[in-house]
Amino acid sequence: KLGTLGKKYPTCLPHLPILGSLPYLNSSDQAHIFFTKLKEKYGHIYAFWLGPSYSVVVNQFSLAKEVLLKKGKDFASRPRMVTTDILSGSGKGIAFSQYGPQWRMYRKLVQSTFSLFKDRSQNFEKIICQEATSLCKSLAATQGQAMDPAMDFFLASANVICQFCFSSSWKQDDKDIEVMMNFSDTIIKNLAKDSLVDIFPWAQLFPNKELTQLKESVMLRNKLLEKKLKIQKEKFNIDSVNNLLDTLLKAKVNHNGQVTQELEITDEHILMTVGDIFGAGVETTSSVVKWCIAYLLHYPQVKEKIQKEIDQKIGFSRTPVLSDRNQLLYLESTIREILRIRPVAPLLIPHMACADSSIGEYTIPKGTRIYINLWSIHHDPTEWDEPEKFKPERFLDKNKEQLIMPTASYFPFGCGPRVCIGEFLARAELFLFLSWILQRFDLEVPDDGELPSLEGEFGVVYQIVPFKLKFKLRKSWREAQLSA
């Protein structure tokens, strides 16, 4: 199936007719770990056949940079999969959309909405701080009882993104939030995991529990977003564009009649674009906050260092703001270390070659699926000192006065044409949520002494297994409140 004349291809795993390399990909390890282990035997870059589709795994940062940056355009497409097609209405929206003018247009519309929020009174900092206030209130109301914080973090990130998309928010007891948390979880557990249907599309013709679950969850999501869209649409005023939906509706009005079919702005395209931003906005940040809290439970000495820095640089008479980021270096380095050791997307989102190209000395034909193994890049022992260890100090200079990048083998948000578009927002949320929480609360393990598992569950988002902890108001915070 591959032309061979004068061409060199990456080492390929053994493969059989029809099944391809499937029998050799059977492992109890999670995909990113398994791919990292295969590196020992097959090298930094190797290939396999997932049934009928030819796939290449890239495990090393200089090759990954070649794919994402240097030849970014050649590899900027996405493979079509049964599961991502279900989520995205056959490739609409941004994240699972083919490389081309349509993808570019929606990406730009979202980016222009981000700039809308940078310089005005309802900016991200203000919105996030409002949500941090509600979050801290809700955590304080637990009065130090052991609890699972997932719902609170989910609500806080959902409301930030809801302000961005619709200029609205949810209340804590709104049923929509619980519904959303449930379907989102099901979607993450079933999406793009190279389950049978993604390898052999014909397998979807047979009854399949996971696929039915996925379809149901996507339907629930679409219903919920449609409801929101309907309410907001009635408020639309072309002279006052305030959020993502307004931007998209305005583009629709401006484009009407004069564009090719390829650049259509239909209600379904709008739904899928908002859906991507919503899903990405909620699931990524809340997941990273959970990972952070879990690591701080395991490493109380790191938590104490962060708190000491907050006490010294900010104190208790005011709450943290974004410009404190260059003061709270220990917190910043902890966030960087979390994004390294537990990347949100350990294999990024699968890329696809949209032209014949090459990686290093190897030929890569058009249509090849490319998995960038960010996990292996972030855990590469030739680039990182003791990569398995949680060490925030690795991002600080000797005097602990400056943030540093110890190696280039690090890109938690990807890079190149498909780089994450939410990095600025995500970093702002992570910093503010965590600094607000740690200024006020001590984190304690429940009475049974059980620490969170740091193993995680592989998926489009690498999630932590649910865990419980106690949020106890700090003595120094309480005293400061009393004397204020």
Instruction: Write the CA distances from 289 to 228, 272, 285, 300, integer angstroms.
Output: 26, 26, 6, 16
Continuous segment of H or E residues that includes residue 320? none
Integer Cα distance of 248 and 266 in angstroms: 10
Q: By CB under 6 A, tell whether 86 contacts ligand HEM.
A: no
Which is closer to ligand PLO, CB of 27 or CB of 111? 111
- The single residue among 156, 306, 370, 420 that binds ligand HEM, judged by CB under 6 A, is 420
Nearer to ligand PLO, 379 or 418 (CB): 418
Least distance in angstroms from the C-beta of 55 to ligand HEM? 15
Instruction: Indicate which single residue of 76, 191, 359, 434 sits in contact with ligand PLO (rule: CB under 6 A).
Output: 191
420 is in an annotated binding site: yes
Q: Which one of 191, 344, 359, 370 is in contact with ligand HEM (CB under 6 A)?
A: 344
Residue 221 or 418: which CB sits closer to ligand HEM? 418
Pattern of binders to ligand PLO over 78-107, x per CB under 6 A?
-----------------x------------
Residue 481 in contact with residue 309, Cβ under 8 Å? no
For residue 280, state whether it binds ligand HEM (rule: CB under 6 A).
yes
Q: Which residues of 23-61 are buried (b: 16+ CB within 10 A; e: fewer)?
A: eebeeeebbbbbbbebbeebebbbbbbbbebbbbbbbbb
Task: Supply 274's token pair.
Answer: 């908002």
Q: Tell me: does residue 194 bind ligand PLO (CB under 6 A).
A: no
Tell me the C-alpha to C-alpha distance, in Å, between residue 270 and each of 91, 110, 169. 12, 11, 19
Closer CB to ligand HEM, 32 or 418, in the complex: 418
Can residue 87 be called a binding residue for ligand HEM (CB under 6 A)?
no
Residue 168 beta carbon to ligand PLO: minimum distance, rounded to whole angstroms: 18
How far apart CA 358 and CA 363 sit, in angstroms, is: 4
Is position 283 an interface residue for ligand PLO (rule: CB under 6 A)?
A: yes
351 beta partners? 370
Assess 456 for contact with ligand HEM (CB under 6 A). Answer: no
Q: Does the protein bind ligand HEM through residue 428 (CB under 6 A)?
A: no
Beta bridge partners of 11: 46
Cα–Cα distance, 136 to 473 (Å, whole number): 10
Nearest Cα to Cα of residue 322 among 425, 431, 438: 431
Question: Is the CB of 142 or the CB of 186 nearer to ligand PLO?
Answer: 186
Give SS3 for 92.
coil
Looking at residues 448 to 467 of the shown chain, list those that interact with ligand PLO (rule: CB under 6 A): 460-461
Nearest approach, Cβ of residue 73 and ligand HEM (Å): 13
> For ligand HEM, which residue of 33, 47, 81, 94 counts as binding (CB under 6 A)?
94
Answer for the pair 360, 63: CB distance below 8 angstroms, yes or no. Answer: yes
Q: Which does 187 bind (CB under 5 to 8 A by kind): ligand HEM, ligand PLO, none?
A: ligand PLO
Query: Nearest residue to ligand PLO, using CB?
Result: 279
Question: For residue 13, what is the enclosing H or E element?
Answer: none
Q: Which of 46, 36, 343, 81 is nearest to 195 (CA)?
A: 81
Run of H or E including 397? none
Determine which helix (DSSP H) or strand (DSSP E) holds 341, and give its type and residue range.
Answer: helix 329-341
CB-CB contact of 410 with 378 (8 Å) = yes
**Nearest distance from residue 174's CB to ligand PLO, in Å?**
17
In the complex, least distance from residue 67 CB atom to ligand PLO, rounded to whole angstroms: 16
Residue 275 found at the interface with ligand HEM (CB under 6 A): no
Q: CB within 8 A of 479, min separation 6: which ones?
A: none
Least distance to ligand HEM, CB of residue 409, Å: 15
Stretch that binds ligand PLO, among 5-13, 64-72, 184-192, 257-265 (CB under 6 A): 184-192
421 near ligand PLO (CB under 6 A)? no
Q: Which does 107 bind (CB under 5 to 8 A by kind): ligand PLO, ligand HEM, none?
A: ligand HEM
Burial label, 142 (beta-carbon count in 10 A; 0-12, 13-18, 19+): middle
At CB < 8 A and 24+ separation, what contacts does 87-94 make? 87/187, 87/191, 87/214, 87/218, 87/275, 88/272, 88/275, 88/276, 89/268, 89/271, 89/272, 92/268, 92/269, 92/272, 92/273, 93/269, 93/272, 93/273, 93/275, 93/276, 94/273, 94/276, 94/277, 94/421
- Is position 374 an interface residue for ligand PLO (rule: CB under 6 A)? no
Would you count residue 344 as binding ligand PLO (CB under 6 A)?
yes
Footprint of ligand HEM (CB under 6 A): 94-95, 107, 276-277, 280-281, 284-285, 288, 339, 344-345, 348-349, 412-414, 418, 420-422, 425-426
Binding residues for heme: 420
Footprint of ligand PLO (CB under 6 A): 95, 184, 187-188, 191, 221, 275-276, 279-280, 283-284, 344-345, 349, 460-461
Binding residues: 420
